[in-house]
């Protein structure tokens, strides 16, 4: 899993049901794997799971909280 530089950019977010423009951090994630051993669908699900945890700041389950 490779990460790019974290940059701040404007993004549309929902605040109390209303859309607003806010500054958010963005990063590009790249995944490299051997397609002979790992199915592309499994690799994609893994990358989506990482993305979702980063967006939700959901780190507790694997850290024992």
Q: Is 64 helix (H, G, I), strand (E, B) or coil?
A: coil
Pick the catalytic residue from 16, 34, 35, 42.
35
Q: Is 39 marked active-site?
A: yes
Pick the catalytic residue from 16, 34, 39, 42.
39
Q: Is 34 marked active-site?
A: no
- Buried b or exposed e, range 36-57, using 16+ CB within 10 angstroms: eeeeeeeeeeeeeeeeeeeeee
- What positions carry a catalytic annotation? 35, 39
């Amino acid at each position: 899993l490779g990460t790019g530089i974290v940059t701040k950019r404007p993004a549309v977010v929902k605040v109390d049901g209303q859309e607003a423009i806010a500054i958010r951090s963005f990063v590009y994630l790249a995944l490299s794997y051997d397609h002979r051993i790992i199915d592309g669908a499994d690799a994609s699900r893994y990358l989506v799971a990482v993305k979702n945890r980063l967006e939700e700041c959901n780190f507790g389950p694997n850290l024992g909280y």
